[in-house]
Amino acid sequence: GKGDTCVKAVRALMGGTPWHEAGVASAGNGAAMRAAPVGLAHIRNLNALRRDAALSAVVTHADPMAVSSAVAHAWLVARLTATPPASLDPVVLVANLCDAISDIPDAGFPERDWQQRPGKTSAPIRLVDRLAEVPRWLDSSPESASDWFYCGAFVLESLPMALWHFLNAPDNPEEAVVNAVMGGHDADTVASMTGAYVGAYLGEHAFPPRWTGDDLEFADELRDLADRLL
C-alpha cells in the first residue's frame, strides 16, 4: 500500500511543484524498496548508480538517510548480480557497501523506542553505521536480530533487517524470504528487498517454482523489463 510520504509527494507534483522539490523530509523505506532496477541498469557504473538512485529517491523522500538507502539497495543489487554463486563474503560485501554510501551526508536518527529497548540510546545512528553491524549478528537467531534491528517502515530498521535475512541464508531463497515475511511489521517491504538480493545473487531459478510459475502476476512483463534493464 502507498505510504503517506508518497501520497504527499504525488499531491505536490499534481499541484505543480517541481519534481526536485516535491519530496518529503522522510526516512521511510519507500525510496529504497523501488531502487532495485537502478542496480540492474548500472552494474558497472557506480557514479551513474549513485546519481540515478539518489534522483529516484528525492522525488518522494528527500531526507539524506532515504537517499542513502536508495543508493545502498541499488548498489547491493548491482554487486550481487555480478557476484558468482558460492563466492560471497559477507564481511567484504558489507564493507564495500559502506564505502559506497559513507560520504552521503546522513546525520542519523535516534532509534525507535530507545527508552524501552535494551542496548539502545538516544544518540543518532547513521544508516551506514547500522549496516556495518549486520555481519556481527549473523550467528544470531532471526528473533534476536529482529529485536536489535527491528523491521518497521523506518529505513534505518528495514534495510539492515533485509540485508541480515539475505546474509543469514544467501543460498536458500525460500528460507531468507519466509523469515523476512514472518518477522512481521513492514514485512512486505523487508521481504521484497530480501528477495531482490537473493534473486540478484542466485537468479530466478533458485526460487521455488510455485513462486515463479504461471500464477506470478505480470511474469512475462517483469522478465522482459528486467532483461532490458540488464
Look at residue 180 and give its three-state secondary structure. helix
Residues 152-201 pLDDT 10s: 899 999 999 999 999 999 999 999 999 999 998 889 999 999 999 999 99
pLDDT value at residue 120: 85
* CA–CA–CA angle 30, 113, 32 (5° rounding): 15
Contacts within 8 Å (CB) and 24+ apart, 112-121: 112/150, 112/152, 112/154, 112/157, 117/147, 119/148
* 45 half-sphere exposure, CB direction, 13 A CA radius: 11
Q: Is residue 9 within 8 Å of residue 24, measured between CB atoms?
A: yes
CB 53 within 8 A of CB 70: yes
Question: Is the predicted pLDDT of residue 1 greater than 80, yes or no?
Answer: no
* pTM across the whole model: 0.95
Closest to 206 in 3D by CA, of 168, 165, 175 = 175
Query: Residue written as cell 546474509?
Result: 167
If DSSP states are collapsed to H, E and C, what string results for 57-73? HHCCECCHHHHHHHHHH
